[in-house]
Amino acid sequence: MKKQCCEESERTVGSCECWLDDACIVDMDCFVKTLSSIKQKGIRADLIGSIITHYASIWLPDLSEHGVTTQFQSPQSITNSWMKKRFFVETLVNVLPPEKDSVPCNFLLRLLRTAIMVRVDAAYRAEIENRISSQLDQASLKELMIPSFSHTCGTLLDVELVLRLVKTFLSMDRDGAALVKVAKLVDCYLAEAAVDAGLSLSEFRALAGVLPSHARASDDGLYRAIDTYLKAHQGVSKQERKGLCRLLDSRKLTPEASLHAAQNERLPVRAVIQVLFSEQAKLNRQVDWSGSFSLRSPNGGLDPLGRCLSKREMNAQQLEIRKLKEDVNRLQNQLNAMKVQMEKKKGLFKW
C-alpha cells in the first residue's frame, strides 16, 4: 500500500506539471485551484515547491536560474508587463508552502529581486525576506547580488537588503555550520561590493560588523574585503582606516594573509604591528611546543612511542627550531624598525 501511494503521488505530480504547462500557463486562478487540490492529496511540501518553481520559471523567465525566454512571452507595454509580474509574484507568495526548505533559497532570491523591481506590496516583500533569512546559509553569491532599484540609493548593489537578511538570520538563533557559511557568504559579498565607489564606509562597517566574532573561523575573507575597499576608496582618512581595521582579528589570519598585510601600505601602522605581534606570538608558541616535545620530553630523547630518536632526527628537529627562532628574530627586527620609524614621524607611540 505504501508503494502504491508513492507511485500515485509521483503520477499526480507528473500529470499536474504537464497539465500546468499546457493549460494553466495563462490562467493564474486555475493554477491556484489546481495547486490547492494537489495539497489536499497530501503531497510533500518539497514536491509542491518544485511544481511552483517549475511553473514560475516557465511563466516568468526572471525566476529561471538561467533566465531563458519561453514561447509564452508576448509583446506588451512595459506598464502592463510590470502589473502582470506584480500580480504573479504576489500570487506566488500566497501559495508557497509554509514549510522551511520547501522552496530553494536561490529561487526565493530571484523572486525577491523581481518583487523589488516591480514594487510589490511591502507585506509580500517582507514575507519573502523572512523565508530567505531562514535558509540564508543555502544562498549563492550570484543570487545574493541583487541590484539596487531605488533612485535614492547611491550603491549599485542593495547592501541594506543584505544587512536586513543577515540580521533576521541572526535573530533566529542560527549557529554552528550555518553561521560559518553565512559569514563566508558575507565576506565574499563585501569583497564584491567594496569596489563600488558609492559604498559608504558606514555601510561597509555595518555589514562587516553585524556578525559575531565566533562566526568567522578565519578572517582572511574579511581582510580581502577591507583591502579591496581601501584600494577602491583612496580618500578614506587615516582615522577611518584605523576604525575599519579594528574589525579584523589579526590572530585569525593565515600566514599568507599575514604576510600580505605586513607589506600592505594601505593599512595603518598600528594594524601592521598587530599582525606582526600575532605572527610573533604564533611562532613563539611553535618554538615552545617544539622545544618541549624534543628537548624537554619526559622520555629524555624518546618520541611519544618510546623509540629512541636517531642522530639524524635529532639534528632535523634542532634545525627546525633554529629556523623558527630565526623567523622570530626577523619579525622582531621588523617590529623594532617600524617603532623607530613611527617615533621619528609621530613621536611617542600611544598603545
pLDDT on residue 36 = 86
DSSP state of 126: H
The whole-angstrom distance between residue 211's C-alpha and the CA centroid of its chain comes to: 11
Model confidence at 54: pLDDT above 50: yes
Q: Which residues pair with 127 in a beta bridge?
A: none
Quote the pTM value. Answer: 0.76
Query: Would residue 146 count as lying in a domain?
Result: no
Which 8-state DSSP code applies to residue 176?
T
In this structure, is residue 236 part of a structural domain? Answer: no
pLDDT higher for 299 or 185?
185
Assess if residue 82 is contained within a domain.
yes
User: Per mean pLDDT, which range of 14-23, 25-34, 155-164, 225-234 is the poorest?
Assistant: 14-23
The secondary structure of the chain in percent helix, strand, coil, rounded to multiples of 5, reads 70, 0, 30
What percent of the chain lies above the pLDDT cut of 90? Answer: 46
Closest CA to 132 of 85, 182, 206: 182
- Least confident range of 29-38, 152-161, 206-215, 287-296: 287-296
Q: Is residue 211 in some structural domain?
A: no
29-38, 192-201, 230-239: range with lowest mean pLDDT: 29-38
Domain of residue 24, residue span: 20-67+78-134
Average pLDDT value for residue range 70-77: 52
Grid cell of 101 as nine digits:
526548505
Q: Decide if 13 is inside a domain.
A: no
Residue 313 within any structural domain of the chain:
no
Query: What is the pLDDT, as a whole number, of residue 61?
Result: 76
Handedness of CA 119, 121, 126, 132 (dihedral sign): negative
Task: For residue 85, tell me if it sits in a domain.
Answer: yes
| Side chain identity, residue 166 | V
> pLDDT at position 22, please?
47
Q: Is the pLDDT of residue 261 over 70?
A: yes
Average pLDDT, integer, range 324-340: 70
The span from the CA of 99 to the CA of 101, in Å, is: 6
Q: What are phi and psi of 308, to 5 degrees?
A: -70, 130
> Quick check: 53 and 107 in contact, CB under 8 A?
yes
DSSP designation for 69: -
Q: What does the mean pLDDT of the chain come to? A: 80
Lowest mean pLDDT among 22-26, 37-41, 229-233, 323-327: 22-26
Q: 138 pLDDT exceeds 90?
A: yes
Number of domains in the chain: 1
Considering the domain boundaries, does residue 88 fall inside one? yes
pLDDT at 173: 74
Q: What is the pLDDT of residue 189?
A: 98
For residue 66, the one-letter residue type is H
Is residue 63 within 8 Å of residue 107, measured between CB atoms? Answer: yes
Candidate from 66-70, 83-87, 306-310 with smallest mean pLDDT: 66-70
